[in-house]
Structure 1
Amino acid sequence: MKTSEFISALRAAPTNQLKFFDLKGHAVHYGYHLTELKAASFETVDCGGQTNRWHETIVQLWVPPGPANVCMTAAKFLKIFDKVRGMIPLNLDAEIRVEYGDENLFPSTYHVRSVTRHENATHVLLEPPATTCKARDRRAAPAQATDPCCAAKTQSCCAA
């Protein structure tokens, strides 16, 4: 999800409590703290030798010892976001990710799968990242030969 889409969803219901869940229904503990907003830029080279560039907005959440039993409101999150946006360049077209980990959610930088409004709460569904081979993904052919004699030979995805 783009940062702009996420922020727009929060602005639509600023008084709602902001609750984060994973695909299994585990929740980020109430009383979490927004510890950091990151404007991340990536420059990579994949195993096929192609360069890749992209940006992400990373929201880091943390639960302090003895947390409160209430979630941050969307308005409080937005106040922090707007203040940070005035201090560092956050790319609104960048994917927004949530960095978090505890005994239920493996420490990772999660994708935001969806944001849904409920009565008095906005739910953010977090999806764990997956790995892939970009070179293989680029080469994936939609049509496959039906005759084994004419099928393309399997090649290594790596340039090395």
Structure 2
Amino acid sequence: MKTSEFISALRAAPTNQLIFVDLKGHAVHYGYHLTELKAASFETVDCGGQTNRWHETIVQLWVPPGPANVCMMAAKFLKIFDKVRGMIPLNLDAEIRVEYGDENLFPSTYHVRSVTRHENATHVLLEPPATTCRARDRRAAPAQATDPSCAAKTQSCCAA
């Protein structure tokens, strides 16, 4: 999900509690803190020898010892987001990710699959990341079937 889509969903219901849940229904503990907003830029070279560049907005959550029994309100999250955006450039077209981990959710930087509004709560569905081979993905894409950075299908996709 793009950062702009996420923020728009929160602005639509600022008085809602903001609840982050994983695909199994485990929620980030109430009383969490938004500890950092990161404007991350990545430059990589994949196994096919192609360079890749992308940006992400990363929301880092943390639960302190003895957390409160309430979730952060969307309005508070937005206030923090707007303040940070005034201090560092956050790319609204970048994917938004959520960094978190506890005894129920493996520490990771999760994708935001969806944001749904309920009567008094906005639920953010977190999806764990998966690894992939970008060279293979390019080769498998019909429009890119002749990509010279990948070997023929009978060979490895790796350049090395």
TM-score by length of 1: 0.93
Structure 2 distance, partners of 1:97, 1:144, is: 28
Q: CA deviation at 1:155?
A: 1.1
Residue deviations 1:82-124 (CA, integer Å, cap 9, x gap): 0000000000000000000000000000000000000100000
Residue-by-residue CA offset, 1:8-60 (whole Å, 9 max, x unaligned): 00000000000000000000000000000000000000000000000000000
The 1:16/1:153 distance shift into structure 2, 3 A limit, reads: closer
Runs of 4+ in 1 over 2 A off after TM superposition: 141-153
Q: Which structure's CA Rg is the greater one?
A: 1
Q: Once the two structures are superposed, what CA deviation does each residue of 1:99-154 show, in whole Å capped at 9, x if it has no partner?
A: 00000000000000000000100000000000000001111165999999999752
Whether contact under 8 Å (1:58, 1:97) holds in the other structure is: yes
Q: CA 1:13 to 1:51, structure 2 compared with 1: closer, same or farther past 3 Å?
A: same
The answer to whether residue 54 in structure 2 is matched with residue 65 in structure 1 is no
Report the CA distance shift for 1:138/1:12 in structure 2 as closer, same or farther (over 3 A): same
Q: Which residue of 1 aligns with 2:149?
A: 149
Identity %: 97
Residues 31 and 70, structure 1, Cα contact 8 Å, conserved in 2:
yes
Residues in 1 aligned to 2:93 and 2:147: alpha-carbon distance in whole angstroms: 44
Alpha-carbon spacing, 1:154–1:27, altered in 2? closer, same or farther (3 Å) = same
SS in 1 for 2:148: coil
Distance 2:17 2:119 in 1: 9
Do 2:97 and 2:110's aligned partners in 1 also have CA atoms closer than 8 Å? yes
Distance 1:146 1:17, change over 3 A: closer
TM-score normalised by the chain length of structure 2: 0.93
Question: 2:151·2:157 contact (CA, 8 Å) conserved in 1?
Answer: no
Q: In the alignment, is the contact (CA less than 8 A) between 1:17 and 1:120 conserved in 2?
A: yes
Structure 1 gap segments, 5+ residues each: none
User: Which segment is superposed worse, 133-142 or 55-64?
Assistant: 133-142
Q: CA deviation at 1:63?
A: 0.1
* Distance change in 2, residues 1:117/1:141 (3 Å): closer
User: Are the equivalent residues in 2 in contact too, given 1:145–1:151 (CA < 8 A)?
Assistant: no
Q: For 1:14 and 1:149, locate their aligned partners in 2 and report how far apart those are by CA, in whole Å.
A: 47
- Partners of 1:144 and 1:151 within 8 A in 2: no
